[in-house]
Structure 1
């Protein structure tokens, strides 16, 4: 099964990104053959910024996205990156800049689309 997660909220301050990635991890554990794609839009693109430092005991979006990357894909809206002053050099290894056109293709190819 192919599942597309579309995340919009900032990585910290709300728990929507956190909960979306928790669900993605659960799906990967329950169905090892699952295909997971996470598309980050709006303020969620900041979740893929490399070198995040969070307090001990606090979740870290970069580490959570790395778990998805082990078996899936993490795509960032290029327009949203530009609007927030992010460059490709700011993005964690494995994640990459994408487009609305690619999001359209991912949406059409997915069995399920979950929006957070």
Structure 2
């Protein structure tokens, strides 16, 4: 089953990104053959910034997104949202990449489920 997660909120401050990725990890655990795609837009693009340092015992979005990538999922970032926040391709963690609304549209049509956080 193909599941697309669309995340909009900043990675820290609310727990929407955190909870979305917890669910993504759980789906990957329950069904190792599941296809998981995470599309970050608006302030959520910052979740894929490389080199994040968080206090001990606090969740880290970069590490959580890496689990999606290592589980054969994809992490895509809205390119215009990146530009609006001064993020360049070099600022993005390994395994994630700049994307477009056209690609989001295609991923939405291909998905069996679309979850928006």
The bucket for the TM-score relative to the shorter chain is over 0.9
Extract unaligned runs of 5+ from structure 2: none
Q: CA deviation at 1:35?
A: 0.2
Partner of 2:10: 10
Distance 1:87 1:35 in 2: 27
Q: What pairs with 1:1-116 in structure 2 (closer than 5 Å)? A: 1-70=1-70, 71-116=72-117
Distance 1:33 1:89 in 2: 31
TM-score, normalised to structure 1, is 1.00
TM-score, normalised to structure 2, is 0.99
Distance 1:2 1:68 in 2: 14
Q: CA deviation at 1:92?
A: 0.1
Equivalent pairs counted in the alignment come to 116
Distance 1:94 1:29 in 2: 20
SS class of match (1:6):
strand
Extract unaligned runs of 5+ from structure 1: none
Which of structure 1's runs of 4+ aligned residues deviate more than 6 A?
A: none
Distance 2:22 2:105 in 1: 24
SS class of match (1:106):
helix
Backbone CA RMSD of aligned residues: 0.2
Distance 1:4 1:69 in 2: 14
